[in-house]
Structure formats: C-alpha cells, structure tokens
Amino acid sequence: MAFEAFEQQFEILLEEKLRKYPNSSDYLRHAFLRSIASQIELMVARLRTEIDKDDAYWENYEQVVSDVLSVMGMESDQLLSIVVSDLPHGVRDFETIKEKLYDTTAYPSQEHLYYRNFEPALERLRFISKQLKKLDERDMQFCDLGFGPGVLTQFILEEKPAWTACGVDISPECVRYAEKLMKLKGVNESVQFTTGDVRNLPYADNTFDLVLAMEVLEHIPDPLKGLLEVVRVLKPGGYAITSIPVRLPIPMHLYVPQNPREVLDLYERANLEVLDFSAKEFKMETGSFVATFALSMTAPTPKGVDFR
Ligand SMILES: C[S@@+](CC[C@H](N)C(=O)[O-])C[C@H]1O[C@@H](n2cnc3c(N)ncnc32)[C@H](O)[C@@H]1O
C-alpha cells in the first residue's frame, strides 16, 4: 500500500513534465521504478536471510525487542518513529554530542536494540561471559562505566546474583532507562546507577573489585584520563574489562585508534596488566573495523594463574 501511494505521488510530481516532455519523462519514470524494484528485491533477500536464522537467534531477538518495548511502554511502530536522528554534519565536540545524542529519550533504546542481532555487541557479551567464568570470587562489587541501556550490568547480575553493582553514565536518559530495565529484570535491589563522567568518577580510591568500561573510552577525546580513573577506583589486584574499537571513525567517537597495538599501549600507560586480549574484525556494509576486548589487572598477576 505504501508503495502504491508513493507511485501515485511520483506520477503527480511528473504530470506536468510528462505533458511537455513525454519521452524523457517516461524514460525517467521507468528508470526510477526499475531502481525501486531492484532495491526492494535486495531488501527481500536480506529479510529472507534473517528469517532463516535459527531459534537461538530468534529467541534472543524476541527477548531484546520485548524488553525494549516494555521499558519504553511502546508498541513497535511507536518505537520505530522515535529513531535517533543523525548528528549535525561535522559535529566533533563532546558537549554537542551529549546534547544531541546521549541526552535524547530514544538513545538508550537504540543502544539496547543492537543486542538483538548486531554481532559486535553480542561479542561484548561473549567476552564478558568468558571472563566471568574465571572470576569466581563471591560478593564482588563492580562498576559499569558508560552503561548505556544497562544490558551488560543486567547480564553480570543475572550470571552472578551475589554481586552488587554501581554504574555511571553521562546521560540522565540512560540512567532512567537502565533503572527501568533492572526493575523489569528483578535485579534493581543490587544496583545503583548515577549520572557522571568517566573522567571524574564520584567514587573513592580502591572501591571496586571489577570495573567495566565497554565502548565508552572512545567517546571521550582523552581516553587515558578515563582509564586512569578506572585504575584509581579499582582495589589493588582488581580487574578491568574494557572494549575499544579500532578504525571506527563514527561522529561520536572522539578517539579513533588505528590498530590494536595502540590500544594495548594505552593500557600499559595506565599501568594495567593485560591478562587476556582479543581483536576481532567485523565487516559492516559501511566497511570493516576491529573490536578489541581486554581483561586487565591493576597489580602483577599471581604466579601460576593462566587467564588465557
Ligand atoms: C556505545 S554506548 C555503550 C553502552 C554500554 N557500555 C554497552 O556496551 O552496551 C556508550 C555510552 O557511554 C556513555 N558516555 C559517553 N561519554 C561518557 C562519559 N564521558 N562519561 C560517562 N559515560 C559516557 C554514553 O552516554 C553511552 O551510554
């Protein structure tokens, strides 16, 4: 139906030219319709690939979309109508990105939706899951920096019900959203979210056993400043789980490392000992980038412990 209405609109637009220049406008009309048809064919093929995915894929998709709809109190069509608009061209300063992106109501829901099928986001969960298997301490206190929708905090609290969490995000909209998500998932008693900047954390030195900073350090122009805060609030021998993308120059990334070595150097400068590091390439329609993930520690690793 939408397509017929579009076609009619196209005819109305061309009406006058068709009378005056019948051959060229008729040619233009057919060329345009053909191009639309080939675009639709491509979209159908893409949809078919998605439909053919297995049950695990669909179960995760269903869960994520249901959670987002519940938190937002919306139906799918309402959710789709509040998509985050693109940042104005050339915007590269943190305050404008915060105002136009992080502080919008739609932002945390869009970040949450990545977890339905976006491989780099799912890889974050896999990496954390792998590290959690090694961290079997009871009663750990962890802090999730730049928690966004709160998916990773929720995941850890579900995996480790005895742990407690704090979280800091620059966006009050993310705090509101993540609090609702924690309530929906029944883990809200174990977590305290607050607004704040990763470069100036509202915590005393030596507070946490584990700090998470996934896909946040590249959002500030001075990632070392954030990383030094991670180290400051970690207890001696505390762990950091971090992820930083390489060669992903999207507008909100104010730090764009060019290779995994650069990321490793950053950890070294912050005095973090990297215990496990992975760099994985993801091919996107817009090009490819490398996602890096690290488990690090603030003090030398005890002898005989193999974290790889
Ligand atoms: C790409 S999202 C990542 C969300 C989450 N860590 C995840 O992996 O799902 C980046 C988040 O960092 C937050 N952020 C950006 N700059 C920040 C800063 N200086 N301090 C704290 N949070 C920040 C944004 O509001 C956003 O929620």
Residue 295: pLDDT band with limits 50, 70, 90: very high
User: What residues does each domain of the chain span?
Assistant: 2-51, 119-297
User: Which of 152-166, 236-250, 253-267, 287-301 comes out lowest in average pLDDT?
Assistant: 287-301
pTM: 0.91
Q: What are the CA-CA distances from residue 25 to residues 10, 28, 35, 94 (Å)?
A: 11, 5, 15, 47
**Residue 144 Cα: closest atom of ligand 1:** 6
| Mean pLDDT of the chain, nearest integer | 93
Cβ(197) to ligand 1 under 6 A? yes
Tell me the pLDDT tens digit for each residue of 61-107: 999 999 999 999 999 999 999 977 788 888 889 999 999 999 999 99
Is it the case that residue 308 has pLDDT exceeding 60? no
Residue 285: pLDDT band with limits 50, 70, 90: confident
Architecture of domain 119-297: 3-Layer(aba) Sandwich (3.40)
* Residue 148 and residue 111 in contact, taking contact as beta carbons nearer than 8 Å: yes
Residue found under tokens 């995996």: 159
Residue nearest to atom 13 of ligand 1 (CA): 146
H helix or E strand, kind and range, residue 283: strand 273-284
Cα 29 to ligand 1 centre (Å): 46
H helix or E strand, kind and range, residue 86: none
* 153-175: average pLDDT: 97
Residue nearest to atom 8 of ligand 1 (CA): 214
Residue nearest to atom 19 of ligand 1 (CA): 197
Residue nearest to atom 11 of ligand 1 (CA): 146
| DSSP 8-class letter at 204 | -
| DSSP 8-class letter at 186 | T
Residue nearest to atom 10 of ligand 1 (CA): 216
Cα 245 to ligand 1 centre (Å): 13
What six digits make up the tokens of 167? Answer: 């979280």
Longest distance between any two alpha carbons in the chain, whole Å: 85
What pLDDT was estimated at residue 299?
72
Cβ(248) to ligand 1 under 6 A? no
**Residue 243 Cα: closest atom of ligand 1:** 8
**Residue 148 Cα: closest atom of ligand 1:** 27
Tell me the pLDDT tens digit for each residue of 98-146: 999 999 999 999 999 999 999 999 999 999 999 999 997 778 999 999 9
Residue nearest to atom 12 of ligand 1 (CA): 146
What pLDDT was estimated at residue 303?
52
Cβ(148) to ligand 1 under 6 A? yes
Is it the case that residue 2 has pLDDT exceeding 90? no
Residue nearest to atom 1 of ligand 1 (CA): 215
Cβ(169) to ligand 1 under 6 A? yes
**What's the sign of the alpha-carbon dihedral 129, 131, 136, 138?**
negative
What six digits make up the tokens of 22? Answer: 């019948």
Query: How far is residue 103's CA from residue 71's CA, in Å, rounded to a whole number?
Result: 17
Give percent of the chain above pLDDT 70.
96
Is it the case that residue 173 has pLDDT exceeding 70? yes
Residue 33: pLDDT band with limits 50, 70, 90: confident
